[in-house]
Amino acid sequence: MLSLVVFLPLFAAVVLAAFPKIPDRTARWAWVLITAIDAALVGVMWLGYRTPAAGQLGYEEQVKWIPNVGSSYHVGVDGLSLPLLALTVVVFLACAVYALKEDQRPRIQAALFLFLQTSCLGLFAAQDLILFFLFFDLSIVGMYFVIAGWGHGNAARSALKFFLYTFLGSLALLLGFIGLYLYAEPHTFDMVELAASAPLDGNPMAGGWVLGAILLGLAIKTPTFPFHTWLPPAHTDAPAIGSAVLAGILLKMGTYGFVRIAMPMLPEAWRAWSWLIIAIGIISVLYGALVALAQTDLKRMIAYTSVNHMGYVVLAVGAVGVAGSGPAREVAVTGALTQMVSHGLITAALFLLAGVLHERAGTYDMGSYGGLAGQAPKFAALFAVGAFASLGLPGFSGFIAEFQIFAGSIGTVPLTALALPGILITAALFLLALQRLLTGSAGKKTHAVTDLTTRELFSVGPLLLLALLIGVFPRPLLDLIEPAASTVVVLLGR
């Protein structure tokens, strides 16, 4: 079942790539169909999911792969990965719908995105470090071709920067994985076994180095300050659906790695270095928010808010590592996971909306617009909803996430309150953006912006609707996450 979910898109991608005779229209609809089927399959998995015992997995599959180095094809889901699998299929479905109008090599684009979908799903399902790394690298390769092939502006350069930077991160990650493997007795790359044995505990020197390598790899991917410089150009020049996937899914690979790999497998080193992680989190929150505030380019602004929003996640997982106990830590981890889902939905929606503007008027410059509320009311409504959701208004998923993050973090480490102004700045910058784009007199490009089409509405709308649903009825999601979060806290507290 799980392997079917992971590899169905890849299979479709191969078929689409292999038959040049497939008409564009068929290719576009086939893409939507496959992503819809995959989303339905994940929905079925969610419904059938029963929380497994701590350290166990649902829908587990394991096949021998490279026994000589203790690596196997091992996949499975738990409360950490299932929400992200669901997020992945939803965002990719939204992208497929959004791209129904694509006229630039739609068949190849569909194949590439389906390939990318398999790499994202595979990463979140992987329970073996080599398998994790494989999907991690494939997602980089796939995104490189998305930016280089369908981007605009200085796409080739931005794609190269993205590739080199994140490839550096992946190599650091690989070194860390090899370290984990060599210190484990018997040597293994199996994530479940590594989490159970925590091979580097009692070896602070080597543990520090291995954690350092893994943190570097994940921090580049997340990205946190000071490793975020690849992100703004990559987003600015990527196509709208590329940005949506990049921000919505690919960034989560970094933060997911924290809770899936770094914390359970290196608990002692994580606790030792948690202050550094908290500091990086606080700086990312504040720096991301301040730089976003200064942007005049809409897409760059959203890109920097990603640094801010991912900063909250880093802050929360860092705070969990500081000595002390109590339920606050579980709340922080749950908040971090919820934030990943929430940010994925909201930012993907915002990037798609930014793409709408660019398609109509050819620029992301906020100064060129104004008065869009009258000109394009549906666009204005959705953009406002997205902005309010992103700034953490109660009733949306972002509020649930950030509230838990701060409740959990400040409860453990009061100093994390330093990051609170981040919320204020984010609110200010989104209000400012709303004011610039939607109200006031019409800018010189406003006339070009026609309102959302049905296709765009059906692409962006569901994402925001889900953010709203999670905000109003968070329980189903939290019930899924909480047991897994408490497992992480227990493993970390060993």
| Stretch of 22-30, 68-76, 81-89, 233-241 contacting other proteins, by CB under 8 A | 68-76
Per rule CB under 8 A, is residue 342 in the interface with other proteins?
Answer: no
Among 178, 384, 393, 420, binds other proteins (CB under 8 A): 178
Q: Using alpha carbons, list the distances in angstroms from residue 391 to 131, 381, 398.
A: 36, 15, 7
Residue selected from 49, 145, 275, 403 as contacting other proteins according to rule CB under 8 A = 145
Under rule CB under 8 A, residue 238 binds other proteins: no
Interaction mask 248-287, other proteins, x per CB under 8 A: ----------------------------------------
DSSP 8-state symbol, 417:
G
Position 156 contacts other proteins (CB under 8 A):
yes
Among 15, 22, 37, 175, indicate the residue that binds other proteins (CB under 8 A). 175
Instruction: Report if residue 182 touches other proteins, rule: CB under 8 A.
Output: yes
Q: Least distance (Å) from other proteins to the CB of residue 195?
A: 20
Question: 75 — phi, psi (to 5°)?
Answer: -125, 160
Q: Is 174 in the site for other proteins (CB under 8 A)?
A: yes
Phi and psi torsions of 74, nearest 5°: -130, 115
CB 210 within 8 A of CB 179: yes
The residues in 121-140 that bind other proteins, with binding defined as CB under 8 A, are 130, 133-134, 137-138
Residue 465 binds other proteins (CB under 8 A)? no
Query: Does 163 sit near other proteins (CB under 8 A)?
Result: yes
Q: Which helix or strand (DSSP H or E) is residue 27 part of?
A: helix 24-48
Among 7, 46, 49, 167, binds other proteins (CB under 8 A): 167
Interaction between residue 14 and other proteins (CB under 8 A): no
Cα gap 283→280, rounded to integer Å: 5
* CB-nearer residue toward other proteins: 49 or 145: 145
We find the least distance from the C-beta atom of residue 456 to other proteins, in angstroms, to be 27
Taken in order 338, 340, 345, 349, the sign of the CA dihedral is positive
In the list 33, 40, 54, 69, the residue contacting other proteins (rule: CB under 8 A) is 69
Contacting range for other proteins; rule: CB under 8 A; set: 5-13, 26-34, 61-69, 463-471: 61-69
Output the CA torsion 486→489→493→494 (10° steps).
70
| Least Cβ distance, residue 181 to other proteins (angstroms) | 6
20 binds other proteins (CB under 8 A): yes
Q: Is 164 in the site for other proteins (CB under 8 A)?
A: yes
- 369 — alpha (psi -120 to 50), left (phi > 0) or beta? beta
| Encoded amino acid at 114, one letter | L
The residue with tokens 């984010």 is: 426
User: Residue 419: which of 263, 314, 292 has the closest Cα?
Assistant: 314
Closer to other proteins by Cβ: residue 98 or 162: 162
- Per CB under 8 A, the list member of 172, 238, 385, 491 interacting with other proteins is 172
C-alpha to C-alpha distance for 389 and 395, rounded to whole angstroms? 8
Beta bridge partners of 61: 75
Per rule CB under 8 A, is residue 193 in the interface with other proteins?
Answer: no
Among 406, 436, 247, smallest CA distance to 332 is for: 406
Q: Does residue 15 interact with other proteins by CB under 8 A?
A: no
Tell which phi-psi region holds residue 357, choosing left (phi > 0), alpha (psi between -120 and 50) or beta.
Answer: alpha
Look at residues 125, 110, 133 and name the one whose alpha carbon lies nearest to residue 16.
110
The CA angle 458-467-222, to the nearest 5 degrees, is: 105
Sequential DSSP letters for 45-88: HHHH--PPPTT--EEEEEEEEEGGGTEEEEEEE-TTHHHHHHHH
The nearer residue to other proteins, 54 or 164, going by C-beta atoms, is 164
Q: CB of 266: closest distance to other proteins in angstroms?
A: 17
> Which one, 46 or 65, has the nearer CB to other proteins?
65
Q: Which stretch binds other proteins (CB under 8 A): 80-88, 148-156, 276-284, 475-483?
A: 148-156
Which chain residues interact with other proteins by CB under 8 A?
20, 64-69, 71, 130, 133-134, 137-138, 141, 145, 148-149, 156, 160, 163-164, 167-168, 171-172, 174-175, 178-179, 181-182
